[in-house]
Each structure stands twice: as C-alpha cells, then as structure tokens.
A and B are shown apart, each in its own frame.
Chain A
Amino acid sequence: MAELLIEDLSVTYPTPTGPVQVVKSLSLQMGAERIGIVGESGSGKSMTARAVLGLVRSPGTTTARRMAYDGIDLMRQDAAGWRAIRGRRIGMVLQDPKFSLNPVQRIGRQIAEAGLLHRVFSRGQARARVLEMLETVGVDQPGRVYEAYPHQLSGGIGQRVMIAAMMIAEPGLLIADEPTSALDVMVRGQVLEMMDREIRRRGMGLLMISHDLKMVAHFCDRVLVMYQGRVVESCSAGDLFKSRHPYTRGLLNCLPTGEHPGQPLPTIDRALIQEEAMRHGA
C-alpha cells in the first residue's frame, strides 16, 4: 500500500515586508484512506496540495524534513522525475471545470492525455479506454461527451470529466482541491459519491481539501484543520463535531443550522484563537 509521508512541510514566499510562511510545519501520514483538510481561504490548504506535487512556483520555496510517496523522495525530484510522478502516481482534481479544462480541446483528447503520456495504453486503445472511463464516472452519452468541447458541458459533467482525466492513468493518490465548490448543490452529492466509490474500489488514497466541514466529515476518515498555515487540529471524522479546539469550535458554530432561528450567526474570535495558539505552543 502506497503511503504519503510528510514531515514538517513549510512553504515560504518572499514579500516586501519579509518572508511569509503560508504553510508552517505541516506533518501528515496517510495510506489508502480519505483525509480531509479544512480551513478558511488563505489557511494554506491549496498550497499544501501544490507542494505535494512540486507545483510551488518560484519565488515560493518548499522545505520539509521529509516528504515521500511510496518510497519516492519528493524533495529530490527534478523536472523529469516530477513528470513521471504527476498524473501517474499522484493526481489532482481542481475546483471549477469551466477553467480547469482546456477550452479549445475536445473532451476525449483531454481525458486520454495523462494515459497516453504515461503509456498506460496505446493510441489505438485510447478511445475505448476513455469511453469506458466516462461510463465509470457516471456520464451517460459518453460518445457525445467524447466529441464535445468543455463549454458545451454542464458543471456536473465537467467535473466528472476532470475526475476521469485524473484517474485514467491509475494513480495511487488523488488530491481533490475543492472538488464540488463550483457545482450546484444538487449535483454535489452525486459527484462526491461517485468519487468516493471509485476511490474505494481502486484502493486509492484521497486528500480532500475543502472549506465545507460537513462534507469533509461525511466523506473522510480523518480531518486536519488548518489555520494560517498551521495544522491546529487533527482528528478522526467522527470526533470532529466533539472538538474542543477554539478554532474548530468557531468553524462549527458558524455552520448554519435550524436550531436557533432568527439569531445572528456567530463569527470567529481570532484574538481568542491567537491566545490559544500561544498557550498550546503551536
């Protein structure tokens, strides 16, 4: 079983007022399980994903005591090394298919690309494999979608296409960066269930990044809560709602429920969190 091992990961960007760490000493270990990373915008969630794939572009720098996947040292890869890893060992699904798909290429070609690049199948077999993949991700009329362009597809189908494109080269780990945030609420559940099913079926690991606590708690085994680049809490999904950490409690309290109709929604008291962080020596 392939494991992702991260020890003490930091991503730093230089600014006119001095270097800023957007990810601070993050550690994580996962195998064929589903891990969720939650936090607000700017908490460093997406940067973590980029770092794992070596996509932090200069002037940002990535440092870690250790970062490896299935024994491959991710800190020592050159361009050729990364090309072999990306898509084939680790894949990433982006948020909005309207932007993450190439507008002037047909869908079939876009899905096949990773498979052809990594020689998972030959050119002759490509079409059949893509159609098969489209069916697997729950697209009816795969033939029509194969020939279509991205702007002709709805958000739900677009995201299924994206998932298909990332799974076709059969990676062991999938990172999903806000996979359903851009979709209609009604479609979200279907896409997530399909993704969940495929991940389990293939024995893959899933690193799900989101700001949606409820969704993460539902689909993941473990949850990491990030605040200002740091992991402030790490627990199993079931324990999330029982958390005592002030930030996590703050996030949970912000979730609208029907319990107190007519009451203003609470906000996060950051001063309190800073205090707490100091006290815990984080």
Chain B
Amino acid sequence: MRRHAGPLALLRWGISLVLMLFVLLLVTFLIGKAAPIDPVLQVVGDRASPEAYQEARHRLGLDRPVYEQFARYVANAARGDLGRSTSTGRPVGEDLRQYFPATLELATLGIALGVLFGVPLGMLAAHQHNRWIDQLLRLVGLLGYSVPVFWLGLVGLLVFYAKLGWVGGPGRLDDIYQYTVDSWSNLVLVDTLRAGNAEAFRNGLSHLVLPAALLGYFSLAYISRMTRAFFLEELSKEYVLTARVKGASELRVLVRHVLPNVAAPLLTVIALSYAVLLEGAVLTETVFSWPGIGLYITNALFSADVSAVLGGTLLVGLCFVLLNTLTDVFGLLMDPRART
C-alpha cells in the first residue's frame, strides 16, 4: 500500500500523536482519581479544621466538575506542573528533571550496545542461514528474551562485582566521588568529564558497564532476531542476485545493497526497543540502586506518593508514545517509493 508523503501524512501523524497523548493524560488522570488517597488531606494534614479543608479543596479545584478538573490537569501538565511529591516534598517536575537523565544515560548506552552488536550479528545469522553460527545466535537471542532482566542483573552483580571485582557495584559512583563531582547535566559521564576528574569518570564507567551491558543484551536479543528476519527476506530477492552477478563481495551485498532496503523497518525496531529499555530500566534500577525514573516510581509506590507515581508514569508514557509515532515517520522518510 503506497503511503503518500507530504503534508497530509504529516497531519495524520500529528493527529495520531495528539490523540495518544490525550488518552495517556486521561488514563493517568483517571488512575489518580481512583487512588484511595485523599489529595486534600495530603496537603493540609489530618488535623486541619473543616474550613481549612474546604479552602484547600477549593484551591485544588476539587469542587469543580470532573471534566474541568481534567482540563486543569492537562493545562498543568503542559506547563510542567505535575503536583508535589509527598516523599521528597518537591514539585514532581523537578524530581523528574533530576532523575530522568540517569535513566536516559543507561538506556541510551544500552541501546547503543544492542545496535552495535545486534545488527551485525543478525546480518551474520541471516547470511549463515541454518549453519551452526545461526543456531548459536538464535539460542543466545532466545535466552535474551526469556530471562528476567532484574534477576540477570543480580547474578551479574554476584559474578562480576562480588566474585570477580571487574565492575563497580550498585549506584552510579563510589561514595567518595559522589560529592566531589558537580551535577550539572545529571549524566555521570558528562559531569565527570566536565569536572576534569578522570578517576571519577573511570569510576562512573565501571558502574555503568554492568547495567548497560545487561540492557544491551536484552535489546540485542530482539534487534538481532528482527535484523535476521529482515535480511533473510531480502537475501532471497532478485536485486541481490544482480549485485552478485556484478561481482560484488558478500559484505558489499549485505551492507551496501540490503541494509539500505531494511533501514526503515530496522529503525522502527530500534525505536521500539529503546522504548522497552526505558521501561526495563524500572526493574534494573531497583537492582542496581540506580537513581533514575524507575527507582523514583517504585519508591513513590511504596510511600503511596500518588502524584510522583503518576508524574513518572506520564513521563515514561510520553517517551513511549513519541517513540512509537516516530516509527511512522521513518517509513515515510527512508523509502523513496513512499516519497513520490
């Protein structure tokens, strides 16, 4: 089916995005409403007088009809006002700004590893279809998406940190560096470089290596499987034969001929994988005591901090939705057949 690129497709994509964001906000709003916790009490405390209660209730807009509350919620969210966290006492938005970069750093490194190793491995597997290397890679991939990531993280810590001492333990930096490095971007690698502290940088890296490798393996399993599938399908096509007849080497055929043809669906797979990694970080962060969004949400969960949980959910949901709709754009951009 030909997609007609240009303003119409862009408009459709925009509408799609807005619709998804709307539903996301609606869902988080409804969940918030369904929480058994009284938000007014959270603000004024248990001992407030009835008048103070009413006043707070009015200020929070809870005496207005539901749809008005929703509108207010959306307006606030657009401005970045997601309420106040009851555990940290700060605006949720501020909390998110502090914790999100850590997750971003981890997930980005993870996906980079996943792509760096996953794509070539998938290509290799497709090329060596059904030979032993293909079987081996399939097995490795299969294990990758059958294993509970958080458990593998624990085992990894056991083996590589406790027993072998190759990597740093839980947390992003050893305590000694924790307070000597200025947190400007909240990305460990960037901040330590900026401070010119090579030791701290190496230390940060040693802490990043294990969780990033874990997430990398997780995404590698999916990416290499899909790459293999895409390549297998293309390798049976005629233009590949033409390239071979011209005298192209196998490597050239794979990289210069097939890869551009699968670029669009492959990027889609990578984007989706990235979204899944952001989610997977939730559990991984708990295991590695990584101060990111995942840890923030789970901690908020246990202290019944509804605004924080919903704020975090909204942020992760936003990333998810953006990445999902981005994949539509890839198809339009990369395939010349869709552009005309």
- Interface 0/1 of A146-171, CB less than 8 Å to B: 00010110000000001001100100
What separation, in Å, do the CA atoms of A82 and B248 have in the docked complex?
10
What separation, in Å, do the CA atoms of A82 and B250 have in the docked complex?
12
Minimal beta-carbon separation of B133 from chain A (angstroms): 15
Instruction: Identify the closest chain B residue to A99 (Cβ).
Output: B238
A 76-111 to B, binary, CB cutoff 8 A, 1 in contact else 0: 000100111111100110101001111111000000
Residue in A86, A99, A152 whose CB lies within 8 Å of B244:
A86
Contact of B246 among A87, A96, A103, A104 (CB under 8 A): A87
Asked whether, in the complex, the Cβ of B239 is within 8 Å of the Cβ of A113, the reply is no
Say which residue of A83, A94, A151 sits within 8 Å of B242 (CB atoms): A94
Contact B247 A100, beta carbon cutoff 8 Å: no
B247 and A99 form a contact (CB under 8 A): no
Question: Nearest-CB distance from B89 to chain A (Å)?
Answer: 55
Does residue A235 face the partner (Cβ distance < 8 Å to B)? no
A102 near B244 with CB under 8 A, answer: no
Q: Which 5 A-B pairs have the closest CB atoms?
A: A87-B247, A99-B238, A114-B246, A86-B247, A87-B246
Is A188 an interface position by the 8 A CB rule?
A: no
> With A103-B336, A104-B335 in contact, is A87–B245 under 8 Å at CB?
yes
**In the complex the two chains form, what is the Cα distance from A273 to B169 in whole Å?**
79
**B246 adjacent to A149 (CB under 8 Å):** no
B337 CB contact (under 8 Å) in A83, A113, A118, A151:
A151
Bound CA–CA A143/B238 (angstroms): 26
> In this complex, what residue of A is CB-closest to B262?
A104
Complex: chain B residue closest to A175, CB-CB: B245
- Return the chain B residue nearest A91 by Cβ: B245
Contact of A94 among B238, B249, B250 (CB under 8 A): B238
Q: Is the CB of B247 within 8 A of A117?
A: yes
Q: Please measure, in the bound complex, the distance between the C-alpha atom of A233 and the C-alpha atom of B246, giving whole angstroms.
A: 31
Task: Tell me whether B245 and A86 are in contact (CB under 8 A).
Answer: yes
Interface flags, B312-340, vs A, CB<8A=1, else 0: 00000000000000000000001111001
Q: Which of A84, A100, A105, A114 contacts B238 (CB 8 A)?
A: A100
Q: Is A55 an interface residue (CB 8 A)?
A: yes
- Asked if A53 is at the interface of the complex by the 8 Å CB criterion, the answer is yes
In the complex, chain A residues whose CB is within 8 Å of the CB of B249: 79, 83
Known: A151-B336, A169-B247. 8 other contacts (CB 8 A): A83-B247, A85-B247, A86-B245, A92-B245, A100-B241, A102-B239, A102-B260, A162-B242
Chosen A-B contacts, 8 in total, with CB atoms closer than 8 Å, are A86-B244, A88-B247, A99-B238, A102-B260, A113-B246, A117-B247, A118-B247, A151-B340
Closest residue of chain B to A98, judged by CB? B238
Pick from B242, B245, B247, B257: contact of A84, CB under 8 Å: B247
A-B contact count (CB 8 A): 76
Chain B 193-244 interface residues, beta-carbon cutoff 8 Å to A: 237-239, 241-244
**Which residues between 110 and 152 of chain A lie within 8 Å of chain B, taking CB atoms?**
113-114, 117-118, 149, 151-152
Query: Residues of A contacting B335 with CB < 8 Å?
Result: 104
Asked if B261 is at the interface of the complex by the 8 Å CB criterion, the answer is: yes
Is A103 within 8 A of B239, CB to CB? yes
**Alpha-carbon gap, A259 to B39, bound state (A):** 95
Q: Chain A interface (Cβ within 8 Å of chain B)?
A: 53, 55, 79, 82-88, 91-92, 94, 96, 99-105, 113-114, 117-118, 149, 151-152, 162, 165-166, 169
Query: Chain B binding site: helix, strand, loop or mixed by DSSP?
Result: helix
**A residues near B243, Cβ cutoff 8 Å:** 102, 113
Contact indicator A104/B245 (Cβ below 8 Å) = no
Question: What 0/1 pattern do residues 91 to 104 of B give for CB contact below 8 A with A?
Answer: 00000000000000
A142–B268 alpha-carbon span in the complex (Å): 36
- Chain B interface residue count: which class? 20 to 34
Q: How far is the CB of B240 from chain A (nearest CB, A)?
A: 9
Which residues in B have their C-beta under 8 angstroms from that of A55? 241, 244-245
Query: Are A101 and B242 in touch, CB under 8 angstroms?
Result: yes
Shortest CB-to-CB span from B58 to chain A, Å, is 61
A253 CA / B334 CA spacing, docked (Å): 51
> Who on chain A is nearest to B237 by CB?
A99
Q: Are A113 and B248 in contact (CB under 8 A)?
A: yes
- Nearest A residue to B336 via CB reads A149
Cα separation A149 to B337 with both chains bound (whole Å)? 8
A110 closest partner in B (C-beta): B242
Q: What residues of B have a CB within 8 angstroms of the CB of A84 in the complex? A: 247
> Given A102-B261, A152-B340, A53–B245 Cβ distance below 8 Å?
yes
B242-A100 in contact (CB<8A)? yes
Q: How far is the CB of B336 from chain A (nearest CB, A)?
A: 5
Most buried by A among B237, B239, B249, B337: B239
Cβ–Cβ contact A102 & B241, under 8 A: no
Q: Which residues of the partner chain A approach B334 to less than 8 Å between Cβ atoms?
A: 104
The answer to whether B246 touches A165 (Cβ under 8 A) is yes
Instruction: For B238, list chain A residues within 8 Å (CB).
Output: 94, 96, 99-100
| Closest CB in chain B relative to A62 CB, distance in Å | 15
Whole-angstrom distance from the CB of A24 to the nearest CB of chain B? 24
A276 to B241, CA, bound (A): 37
Contact of A101 among B239, B244, B260, B340 (CB under 8 A): B239
CB distance from B3 to the nearest CB of A (A): 14
Residues of B within 8 A of A88 (CB): 247
B257 CB to closest chain A CB, in angstroms?
Answer: 6
Closest CB in chain A relative to B134 CB, distance in Å: 14
Identity of the chain B residue whose Cβ is nearest the Cβ of A106 in the assembled complex: B336
Enumerate chain A residues within 8 angstroms of B250, measured Cβ to Cβ: 79
Kindly state the separation between the CA atoms of A82 and B246 in the bound complex, as whole angstroms. 10
- Please give the distance in Å from B8's CB to the nearest CB on chain A: 20
Q: Binary interface profile of B, 250-262, with partner A (CB < 8 Å = 1, else 0)?
A: 1000000100110
Structural contact, B261 and A86, CB atoms closer than 8 A: no
Given A114-B247, A117-B246, answer yes or no on A105-B260 (Cβ-Cβ < 8 Å): yes
